[in-house]
Structure 1
């Protein structure tokens, strides 16, 4: 198991994200574990590098996970590490 790289703060999920995870028989913990250990999902290399810098510079961290061709979930941790939200891109 990889090491946690930053604090998640309070964790919330939008109703749409919860429905999407249920549809795919997945749980928020599956995505939160990947996010907090630096597996930022389906981002390009430039965005992954920005996330790695954001960990140390106290900036917002965004992960994106494609569940299939049409369904994507985002996980966003705020810059102050007070909260993390699991959401669909359309919820943003």
Structure 2
């Protein structure tokens, strides 16, 4: 899926990372993924979730991205509906 450039920017709010991400995902992979998330490149989400994210930019719902690190560890980035917090976490920590 190609990245869609949004006409509407969103705030990441406070950036949080779980202990699992800090222990298992290389730091540069995290930062590259956060940048992609902020640019509305949702990574490996399915087509349905890609569409939900596009709608979320209009109705201020939660945003979800899924990425795979260079060490093959999958991780998520979630920005809450009110844009106050963005959390980087492992799926099993959800």
Normalising by structure 1, we get a TM-score of 0.85
| Structure 2: segments with no counterpart, 5+ residues | none
Task: Give 1:20's aligned residue.
Answer: 24
Unaligned runs of 5+ in 1: none
Aligned length: 89
TM-score, scaled to structure 2 = 0.83
**Which whole-Å deviations, capped at 9, do the CAs of 1:27-71 have from their partners, x for residues lacking one?**
432111100111101011111010011011010000001236952
* 1:21-60 equivalence runs, <5 A: 21-22=25-26, 26-60=28-62
Partner of 2:85: 83
Q: 1:78 to 1:88 in 2, by over 3 A?
A: same
RMSD of equivalent CA atoms = 2.1
